[in-house]
Amino acid sequence: MDALLSSQLPALVIGSVVLFLGAYLFYLWLLPKPIPGIPYNAKATRSLFGDIPDMLDHLDRNKTLPDWMEAQNARYNSPIVQLFFYVFQKPVVVISDFKESQDILMRRSKEFDKPDMISDAFYGIVRDHHTLLKSGDEKFKSQRKWLQDLMSQTFLHGVAGPHLHKTFMELVQMWQEKMRLAGPEGCPYSVKTDIAHSALEAIWAAMFGTGETATITMKQIDLLSSIEPGSIKASSDGALQIPQADRAPTFDAILRLTHTFEGVVQSVSPRIYGWFLPYRFPKLVKLKDQLIIDEINKAQRRMHDINGEQGKVFNAVDHMLYREKQQATKEGRKPQYYSKAMIAEIFGLLIAGHDTTSTTLMWIMKLLTGHPTIQSKLRAELRASYSAAHAEARVPTAQEITNTPVHYLDACLEELLRCAQTASIPSRTTTTDAVVLGSVIPKGTRVVLLGCGGGIMKPSYPVADSLRSTTYHNASGGKTAAWDESNAAQLAALNPDRWLRSRADGSRVFDAALGPHLSFGAGPRGCFGRKLASLELRIALVLILWHFEMLDLPAHLDTYAAVDQLTCVPVQCYARLARAG
């Protein structure tokens, strides 16, 4: 027996050593592998979890990723760093340099393409949306054709504009009721939910029309109009606790599904987290799908009634079905109006259009409340520019707002977008090994381009011109000018005048090329809905300032804390409104 054991002992020892060495080598293989030449946290490469503990510690105190990412660039005083916050995946390269970001987005799209962080967010509940597809994919080209009419001036001004104007006038009416309830002392109240609802109603109206819709805002107006001033008391923080009308089930489902993006964005495995969402919220997904199918049914009936004439459309879904019918005829097949891709495109436009506008409007309210001089100047410019409406004591029409040039309004919108940082981390994935600032980034690496970083909201990091790409030099650096970076505080401050160029006659005109920002990304895969979002913000801002003055708030109700969802949403959004003079 002893002899048997003694003969087996060497084999057991050898087996144990091999097993241990195998496990150790496997552990080493799993450890994060840095890209040569790019700064990184050495401690992160000695843990399977990389930078995740540091990131989670930050998110426990501050609910946004971009500021944590930019802090790493500042830590190494470098425009490019690499982070390890996706488990068992390649590092994420973070670039905090506008010139390099613009070059990648606009001139190097063959090397840097989708998917991106938005694709990861959409993967769970909008899996068939075009944002998940590479630019060369035939499905991408086909699905984008459905949307091509939606950013035309004909649709924006003729179809969307009147719907948006009606929706935001309802918001104005609701805030007038809140003003009444706030009384002469002007108690503050939250407007965060109001803006979220109105922004969804606005894109809802553009997508589906408003003919049969009893909006949540109108329900809220009915509720508030039945309440007597003084019957609502302020809470311990001094804000009025105003009751909220019930939301329709489909409306509620859309809003609740958009809130799921917070978990996806902050997950260390976004696609795995997202994959489970349809199974976690099956009722919400079913309501969403049924809503869209019902709207497609209505659009199909309208198409039949008007014999498919493109000139007679009433909303975005009408346009999309018309385009699908055109494509089907050209390809000799039946139209696929109810395909998963069609449903995904409709839902994607609905939630992206809602989230961007909603979040940006919240930041606009906060920023203008904190800058009363800019607020007053813009209101005066609006009164002068829409002089007929002012003289007739009426509200500017949708046509007047869209067709009348107001340079200071354009400058304010551009600057508010720059400072709001609604979506400040456009990203791409390398399709091949690509050289960026002297380092080779391997194929399949996620690259994040900070919209809050160097050259935009902070002074640029030093970069030798020799490290720039051939495409950058061929374009002579691009046409976008640089801001004066000599004063970091002034660079970060809200200043619409930075977007105005003086002409020989002394007048000042808006010029989008005077300086950088990446609010809508850039290049062929930049934000597709930029024109629609800009129109929404323009109409909303004009109508709000036409009616209201935003008064200062107590400091505890005016914090700038934010949380990452599909966009970077303010935690608080309160208002004290007075009638504009």
Tell me what pLDDT residue 306 has. 64
DSSP 3-state of 493: coil
Let me know if 67 is exposed, middle or buried by CB neighbors in 10 A (0-12, 13-18, 19+).
middle
Q: Mind listing the pLDDT tens digit for each residue in 214-229?
A: 589 999 999 999 999 8
CA distance 477 to 81: 22
Q: Is residue 203 part of a domain?
A: yes
Residue 261 forms part of a structural domain = yes
Predicted confidence (pLDDT) per residue in 85-125, tens digit: 988 899 999 999 999 999 999 999 999 999 889 899 899 99
Domain with residue 235: its CATH number is 1.10.630.10
Is the pLDDT at 520 greater than 80? The verdict is: yes
- Domain assignment present for residue 405? The answer is yes
- Tell me which residue has tokens 């009893």: 214
pLDDT of residue 21: 82
Record the tokens describing residue 535, joined without a space: 């129109």
Euclidean distance between CA atoms 33 and 118, whole angstroms: 25
**pTM, to two decimals:** 0.92
Domain annotation covers residue 109: no
CA separation for the pair 215, 69 (Å, rounded): 40
Report if residue 121 sits inside a domain: no
Q: Does the residue 215 lie in any domain?
A: yes
Q: Which two tokens stand for residue 233?
A: 């008391």
Q: How far from chain centre, in Å, is Cα 251?
A: 20
The rounded distance, in Å, linking the Cα atoms of 401 and 539 is: 7
* Least confident range of 26-30, 263-267, 456-460, 482-486: 26-30
For residues 18 and 352, which has the higher predicted lDDT (pLDDT)?
352
Quick check: 549 and 575 in contact, CB under 8 A? no
Q: What is the greatest pairwise CA distance in the chain?
A: 110
Annotated binding site: 527
Of the pLDDT bands very low, low, confident and very high (cuts 50, 70, 90), residue 8 is low
| 371 falls within a domain | yes
Structure tokens at 489: 């505080």
For residue 306, tell me if it sits in a domain.
Answer: yes
**For residue 162, what are the contacts with CB-CB under 8 A and spacing of at least 6?**
398
Our measurement of the distance from residue 14's CA atom to the centroid of its chain's CA atoms, rounded to an integer in Å, reads: 57
CA angle 417, 72, 456 (to 5 degrees): 25
Question: Would you say residue 429 has pLDDT above 70?
Answer: yes
Query: What is the predicted pLDDT for the residue at 6?
Result: 61
Indicate the number of domains in the chain.
Answer: 1
Binding-site members for heme are 527
For the segment 391-401, the average pLDDT, to the nearest whole number, is 97
Q: How many Cα neighbours within 13 Å face the side chain of 484?
A: 8
- Name the residue range of residue 330's domain: 153-425+507-515+518-579
